[in-house]
């Protein structure tokens, strides 16, 4: 199939910290799967990351690390477009336009904004509020058909669709209507210390998350201390969030179904389950960590990848932006 006929996939990950097992199982793991059939565009969204204070040197390091991890997780820069959001100014330009087609009321309903505003009450900046509109710009700029994300991003994709529909309604078809691509298992990996909350890289307690770059001993220790419950049965059930989370992680790490895992551990206790999950995750992450470490030693190669990526992304983005500028009535430069 030629590049023109292929459908487009777009997704992004924030370089706001080190990537977790949640980021991997909910999103990044799916990125390479569709690399052959789709035109895939994956971005490191640094403009999004500064909605929360970042230390500049750490942000630079984390941005390169996310790019390296994209490649380590199976993305091939020859097949997919990999780039850094701030290198393509069209994202910020389209975001401004879309701001004027987003209602204050609908943006106010975003639960991620409410959560983050509560978490960072000393810095509730306008960028944090506007974050979903920038995300809509990311997606619509490339006329993406499909957006692989974890379930926490579903509300933002629905907002993106509403903005696209409103704009298309006023100016005739301009944007492709994107669909979310959310995995059946792994769409919301929970914290190991509080399984009622999502595993998040910005958690205060590092025992709650597993990082892709964690050393095997740390991974094993975190799983041994994972919160479960007192009933000792190894089954997925709503009232057993900790055990359900461990079973889900084990199933994904070993390529089994939930049912197969429940059968494997029938009659066994948490004392067997926890180290088994830890070991499976160590083996799942080992090649990713090693490949990332290698790639980070080769900054020239990473620079080549993001430079070429930004060039290709800019050309695609420009087409949409020109069309939008024309439709809203801006004079051609």
**Separation between Cα atoms, residue 56 and residue 54, nearest integer Å:** 6
CA distances from 230 to 234, 243, 270 (A): 11, 10, 10
Instruction: Sketch the per residue contact string, 153 through 192, with ligand LTN: x for CB under 6 A, - otherwise.
Output: x--x------------------------------------
**Separation between Cα atoms, residue 129 and residue 134, nearest integer Å:** 10
Question: Which tokens in the block code for residue 31?
Answer: 């990125």
Rg (CA), the chain: 21
CA distances from 9 to 27, 60, 87, 323 (A): 12, 26, 19, 20
The residue whose Cβ lies closest to ligand ATP is 26
Q: Which residues have a catalytic role annotated? A: 116, 198, 201
Instruction: Sketch the per residue contact string, 10 through 49, with ligand LTN: x for CB under 6 A, - otherwise.
Output: xxx-x------------------------------x--x-
Of these, 8, 9, 10, 14, which contacts ligand ATP (CB under 6 A)? 14
Site membership for ligand LTN, residue 240 (CB under 6 A)? no
Choosing among ligand ATP, ligand LTN, none, which partner's interface includes residue 97 (Cβ < 5 to 8 Å by kind)?
none
Site membership for ligand ATP, residue 132 (CB under 6 A)? no
Q: Determine contact, residues 159/131, Cβ cutoff 8 Å.
A: no
CB atoms within 10 A of CB 171: 16
Choosing among ligand ATP, ligand LTN, none, which partner's interface includes residue 200 (Cβ < 5 to 8 Å by kind)?
ligand ATP
Q: How far apart are CB 26 and ligand LTN at their closest, in Å?
A: 9
Residues that bind ligand LTN (CB under 6 A): 10-12, 14, 45, 48, 135, 138-139, 147, 149, 153, 156
């Amino acid at each position: 199939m030629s590049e023109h006929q292929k459908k487009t996939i777009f997704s992004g990950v924030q370089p706001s910290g080190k990537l977790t097992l949640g980021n991997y199982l909910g999103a990044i793991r799916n990125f390479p799967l569709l690399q052959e059939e789709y035109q895939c565009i994956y971005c490191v969204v640094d403009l999004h990351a500064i909605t929360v204070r970042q230390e500049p040197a750490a942000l630079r390091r984390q941005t390169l690390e996310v790019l390296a991890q994209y490649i380590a997780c199976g993305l091939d820069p020859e097949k997919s477009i990999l780039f850094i959001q701030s290198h393509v100014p069209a994202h910020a330009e389209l975001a401004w336009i879309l701001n004027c087609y987003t209602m204050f009321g609908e943006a106010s309903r975003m639960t991620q904004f409410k959560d983050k505003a509560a978490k960072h009450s000393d810095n509730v900046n306008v960028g944090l509020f506007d974050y979903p509109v920038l995300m809509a710009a990311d997606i619509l700029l490339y006329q993406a058909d499909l957006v692989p994300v974890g379930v926490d991003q579903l509300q933002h994709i629905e907002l993106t669709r509403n903005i696209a529909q409103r704009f298309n309604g006023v100016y005739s078809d301009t944007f492709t209507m994107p669909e979310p691509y959310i995995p059946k298992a792994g769409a919301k990996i929970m914290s190991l210390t509080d399984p009622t909350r999502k595993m998040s890289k910005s958690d205060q307690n590092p025992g709650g998350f597993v990082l892709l770059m964690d050393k095997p001993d740390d991974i094993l220790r975190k799983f041994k201390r994972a919160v479960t419950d007192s009933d000792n049965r190894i089954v997925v059930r709503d009232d057993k969030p900790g055990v359900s989370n461990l079973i889900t992680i084990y199933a994904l790490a070993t390529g089994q179904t939930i049912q197969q895992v429940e059968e494997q551990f029938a009659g066994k206790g948490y004392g067997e389950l926890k180290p088994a999950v830890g070991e499976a995750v160590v083996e799942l992450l080992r090649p990713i960590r090693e490949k990332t470490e290698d790639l980070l030693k080769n900054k020239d190669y990473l620079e080549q990848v993001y430079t070429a990526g930004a060039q290709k992304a800019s050309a695609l983005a420009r087409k949409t932006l020109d069309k939008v500028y024309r439709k809203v009535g801006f004079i051609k430069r």
